[in-house]
Copies of this chain bind each other. A is one copy, B any other.
Amino acid sequence: MKAFNRLSQRQQNMMRFMHNYMQERGFPPSIREIGEECDIGSTSVVNYNLNKLVDAGYIERSGKVSRGLRIIGAIPGLSSGPRVFGAPGPQRVALVGRIAAGEPIALPDDIGHHIDEDDYIAVPPQMLSGYDENEVFALTVRGNSMIDSMIQDGDIVILRQQNTAENGEMVAAWLSEENETTLKHFYREAEQIRLQPANQEYQPIYVHPSNCEVKGKVLSVMRNFH
Given contacts A222-B220, A224-B219, contact A70 B25 (CB under 8 A): yes
Given contacts A66-B66, A89-B90, contact A127 B224 (CB under 8 A): yes
Given contacts A124-B122, A150-B152, A225-B129, contact A65 B30 (CB under 8 A): yes
Q: With the chains together, A30 CA to B67 CA distance in Å?
A: 10
- Select the residue from A22, A123, A150, A219 with max chain B CB neighbours within 10 A: A150
Give the number of times this chain occurs in the complex, counting copies. Answer: 2
* Tally of chain A residues near chain B (CB < 8 A): 45
Given contacts A90-B90, A147-B150, A150-B147, contact A69 B124 (CB under 8 A): no
With beta carbons under 8 angstroms apart, the residue of B27, B122, B127, B147 that contacts A70 is B27
Q: Indicate whether A169 reaches chain B with its CB closer than 8 angstroms.
A: yes
Please name all residues of chain B whose beta carbon is closer than 8 Å to the beta carbon of A201 when the two chains form the complex: 147
A218 lies within 8 A of B222 (CB): no
How many whole Å from A162's CB to the nearest CB in chain B? Answer: 14
What per-residue 1/0 map shows which CB atoms of A131-173 lie under 8 Å from chain B?
0000000000000000100111000000000000000011000
